[in-house]
A and B are shown apart, each in its own frame.
Chain A
Amino acid sequence: MITFSLNGQAVNTDVPPDTPLLWVVRDVFKLKGSKYGCGAGLCGACTMHVAGDAVRTCVLSVADVAGQEVTTIEGLGTRDNPHPLQQAWVEHSVPQCGYCQSGQIMSAAALLAKNPRLSDTEIADGMRGNICRCGTYGRIRQAIRSTVEKRANK
């Protein structure tokens, strides 16, 4: 039995311990916002926060998060109570197909939490692990920039 915190709730599961966290969250706990994209940690669609770090959960065994705090896109914010990045994503009409965007936002949120004054180079380097086939990179960059600027002006 593996126990961890999922979006603030204690959960436990008896799936084989080598099962990737992504599939446990999606198929056991039915949170479908985190996506499968590559199964190899190459595209970032499955990104969640584990103890505040952005992690590729398609290659992370559920056993490795025992006792840890896991946050998914569902736990980051909602339409009624959004994270500033989700708000910025909407204002810039970032999503196209939308499939990669949970992972993009989770990566950006972790970056921003560690460094509220992200430069363009830091955005480029920090976000290069997340692939978007619709080519929304320019808007992602703008959405992050605008969030950084809003925070700086506060």
Chain B
Amino acid sequence: MTFEERTSESQLSRRRALKLFAVTGGGLIAAAQLSACSVTAAPIPLSKSGGVTDSALLQITPSNDVNFYLPRAEMGQGVFMGLTTLIAEELEVDPDRIIVHHAPVHDAYNKPGSSLQYTGGSTSLSAHFTQLRQVAANMREAIRQAAAKDLNVAVDHLDMRDGRVLHGDANYPYGRFANSASRRSMPKKVALKTASDFAVIGHDRPRLDAWEKVTGQARFGLDVDFPGLYRTALWRCPATGGKVKTVNIDKAAAISGVFKIVRIFNGVAVVAEQQWQAKQAAQLLEIEWDLPDLAQVSSPELRQAMEQAMTDDDGQNAHFAGDGAKALGRADKVLEATYWAPYLAHATMEPMNCTVRIQDGQCDIWVGSQMPDGALGMAAHHSGLPRDKVTVHSTYLGGGFGRRLSSDFVAEAVAIARASGVAVQLAWSREEDIQYDRYRPVSLVRLRAGLDRDGRIDSWTAKRVGPNVAAHFADDNLETIAPEFLPWRLSDWASKRGYWLFENLIINPASVHGLFGDYDIPNQSIRHVTVDPGLPIGYWRSVGHSFNAFFAESFIDELAYAAKQDPLAFRLVHNGHDPRMQRVLRTAARKAGWGKAPPGRFQGIAAHNAFETAVAQVVELSLVDGAVKVHKVTCAVDCGTAVNPDIIRAQMESGIVYGMTAALFGEITVDKGAVMQSNFHDYEMVRMDQAPEIGVSIVPSTAPPTGVGEPGLPPLAPALGNAIFAATGKRIRELPIAKQIEIA
């Protein structure tokens, strides 16, 4: 099978490049420059409904439907409401009246400023803030001009309000002028409202997707169903990357309802009439594996290898200022500490899944994806069909958190559909979801800092040891998305070298971001050593900030105590250059009653910039028979203009709970390459009885909006660790916390 060979080859190229526990030297920092593609007309089926459209995002039909094609994926973070709010504001239509559709895959839906149609990096609102308001303002003006012509009145005699054209005592729905407007050219660059005129932006109302989601009507990938759809379950090697050597299907084939058993690039799949039958049968497959190099890796040895690299390897320069580490020599006091954060799974509530139908030279896939263009490329690659014969039908995502940027499960589903010849739905079990994730990378960091005689930080150095997300993402995806984002015929070259690039040449910013930059320190040296056993890793909510903020903000706390200063005051002394950070720190401290905790309560504070948003948090906890009970988290955020204040609050709450689960319980370990955790009993979550009260303050701002989906997470772990130090005198330098202290 040529298809199988191609797949094996690409994986082998990584294996060769990987060099188990390889270490690195030399290099420069670079970020891949993505080319901007031109926006072309999107395939909105105008013939069915007619009316006026901007060709992609917005359409008003003669029957007065307002259709908005949502260009970003809704995974809980609130774009369904947030981006619709931007449209509503300038269109002068109530947000509840706008019919929101998940956009198909098309250049027109690429993220502004990018040539990819991805949802990530906490950028949806900032990237679309001007674009969508402009689209809506132009559309409103198109209707207004058409109305003026049709009614034969001057344009400035018409007011636009609540989806209606007002002329004296008369008023008309927009839709009445939709066909007329479609025959005229769309106005461009219509003046946008100033912030003081905002009537929808900045005001709260219930989420637009709430009713669907409380009545069981919202459709997720796993809910896709149609006549003739088979269910499939795949059995993979316990160590990701292993290949089938031999398989005995006799027992599996005897299960009723089993239609076919097929072998694909990474395992053997049972195709059955029902999910339950497929799952039962797959468990009866007897497979002998060709084990990958990863099968030689277990967590204790990995930790040792990382510690060895920390000692032996100088690493690559990732950031340097002043005299760097040399300045430590003249410090009044030097502090050193080593921190650790484990691999983590995403554990979205909806496990990975994809539905595929290949028929008559056409491949249709139904999937909730943070990168539907990547899913399309993956489907083309594995179906053997050209990209223009692949259609992606997007759904709601039952959680994303970065997991659904990867299309590994799409590859599997398409390969199974191709091999079996029928339409299939591949639904991962929770066990598969935890054991075959693209994990947050493991990290070991040594920090050293020098205080001067006045207790100010004079030097700050860090060395991070661990694998790089971009390397894995490149290897997973370059051959499928490269044609889109590497226009210089470099895709073939890059697909074979994606991993090597990050091992030998480029520092992956996501490996070190958040380790430096928040404080004004004259001498800095940040270095990086790549150690990677090959367990697949990926983007995990707030990426490197999720662990680097824990390291940096815990160590700042250590320095504050060493300098005998209040942790809040100590931070404020060192970030005077950053007024947003100063404001969130002061706000969180004031709201939390910093320094005035009730008897028996202990506080910890942390603040962090991520995705251009500043967030500070104060954790308040007590000890119940020596066990930690988190009562309250007080959060302040400066994310520029607050488009939907309640969604900002919700995202801070979400980041705090997700971050708390990670800090308290989260740990993925491997034994001979196989992930040892499997379900919520051994990969535990914060639950209702442990969820703290959360208060969120949004710092008023008229600056352009910045991210909220991820920045609420990074400060939680250090604020929690710092509060535990305040309560117990024990400094938390390793995650998860539950391994070191009991949690109530």
Give the B-binding residues of A (Cβ under 8 A): 15-16, 19-20, 23, 26-28, 30-40, 42-43, 45, 72-74, 77-79, 82, 86, 89-91, 93-102, 105, 123-125, 127-141
Contact = CB atoms under 8 A, between A and B. Distances in A.
Interface in B680-711: 680-681, 685-689, 691, 693-694
Nearest to A16: B256
Interface stretch (B213-221, B359-367, B573-581): B213-221
A134 B215 contact: no
10 contacts: A28-B274, A35-B349, A72-B216, A73-B215, A93-B647, A93-B650, A96-B650, A99-B350, A128-B689, A135-B657
Interface residues of B, number: 63
B540 interface: no
B215 A135 contact: no
Contacts of B602: none
Given A93-B206, A133-B349, 15 more contacts: A27-B231, A37-B351, A37-B430, A40-B679, A40-B680, A82-B215, A89-B214, A94-B210, A95-B76, A99-B348, A99-B398, A102-B216, A135-B691, A136-B653, A137-B686
Contacts of A133: 347-349, 399, 401, 658, 685
B460 interface: no
B75 interface: yes
Contacts of B219: 32
B508 interface: no
A129 B688 CA distance: 8
B179 interface: no
Contacts of B215: 33, 73-74, 77-79, 82, 86
B427 interface: yes
B679 A98 contact: no
B77 interface: yes
Contacts of A33: 215-217
A96 B657 contact: no
A82 to B, nearest CB: 7
B689 A97 contact: no
A131 B653 contact: no
B656 interface: yes
B225 interface: yes
A37 B679 CA distance: 10
A27 B275 contact: yes
Given A27-B231, A98-B396, A139-B650, A19 B276 contact: yes
Contacts of A16: 256, 276-277
B413 interface: no
Interface string B220-250: 1011010000010000000000000000000
B739 interface: no
A94 B646 CA distance: 11
Contact of A90 (B206, B217, B693): B206
Contacts of B653: 135-136, 138-139
A44 B467 CA distance: 35
